[in-house]
Structure 1
Amino acid sequence: MLKWLKRVTYTVLIVFFLAVGVFFAIRNPQLIPLDLVFWQGPELSVALYVILSFTVGACVALLVSSIAYLRSERQIRVLTRKYEKARDEVDALRKASIAKELSVGKE
């Protein structure tokens, strides 16, 4: 039911940010050189440098979050194996206890 609302919200947000980006690019047509300590970039518009820096930042954030996600997935697998091992041990102890009670009851 709420899938369409989610899609509409995402679409509106994407269109809004694209409009802001286009408006920013139109309002800032001046060319500037990018001068870093170790590299001198070509003369491009301010908007292009801002969009490029945003894109690089988003890619770095995606990479960092994917590393954290993979770590947590690995930890989930390890803990699941420990849980299954402990559960099997508890089941074995219960069966042994029941077998012991039955053998004591027959005597």
Structure 2
Amino acid sequence: MFKWLKRVIYTVLIIFFLAVGVFFAIRNPQLIKLDLVFWQAPELSVALYIILSFTFGAVVALLVSSVAFLRGERQVRVLTRRYEKASDELDALRKASITKELSVGKE
């Protein structure tokens, strides 16, 4: 119903965060050398390192959430199969019960 409003809000948020990122990059042009324990990164701007770390975090979060989502989907499929099997069994028992009652009633 309000898909257009949702799109407008998402567009405004994306433009806002892009503007903040550009402003941050312009205001922080200093070059730094990232020195990790086993690896030294090249000299890049502070903003670029922060943007790269946010992007890496988003990718990791997406991967972790997709694993949880796929597990949930698998569980839904398993439970749906169980439900269908139990429903079929219940229908068969009801039919058997009705058939038994009809055969007893005829005698």
Q: Give the TM-score taking structure 2 as reference length.
A: 0.99
**In 1, distance between residues paired with 2:81 and 2:4?**
39
Which residue does the alignment assign to 1:53? 53
Which residue does the alignment assign to 2:41? 41
CA RMSD of aligned residues (A): 0.5
Deviation at 1:25, TM superposition (A): 0.3
Letter in 1 for 2:27: R
Letter in 2 for 1:92: A
Which residue does the alignment assign to 2:98? 98
1:26 aligns with 2:18: no
**In 2, distance between residues paired with 1:38 and 1:5?**
48
Partner secondary structure for residue 91 of structure 1: helix
The C-alpha deviation readout for 1:48-94, integer Å capped at 9, x for no partner, is 00000000000000000010011001101100110000000000000
Letter in 1 for 2:13: L
4+ residue segments displaced more than 3 Å = none
- Give the gaps of 5 or more residues in structure 1: none
Which residue does the alignment assign to 1:72? 72
Partner secondary structure for residue 38 of structure 1: coil
Partner secondary structure for residue 24 of structure 2: helix
**In 1, distance between residues paired with 2:58 and 2:38?**
23
**Between Structure 1 and Structure 2, how many residues are aligned?**
107
Identity %: 85
Q: Give the TM-score taking structure 1 as reference length.
A: 0.99
Letter in 1 for 2:44: L
- Give the gaps of 5 or more residues in structure 2: none
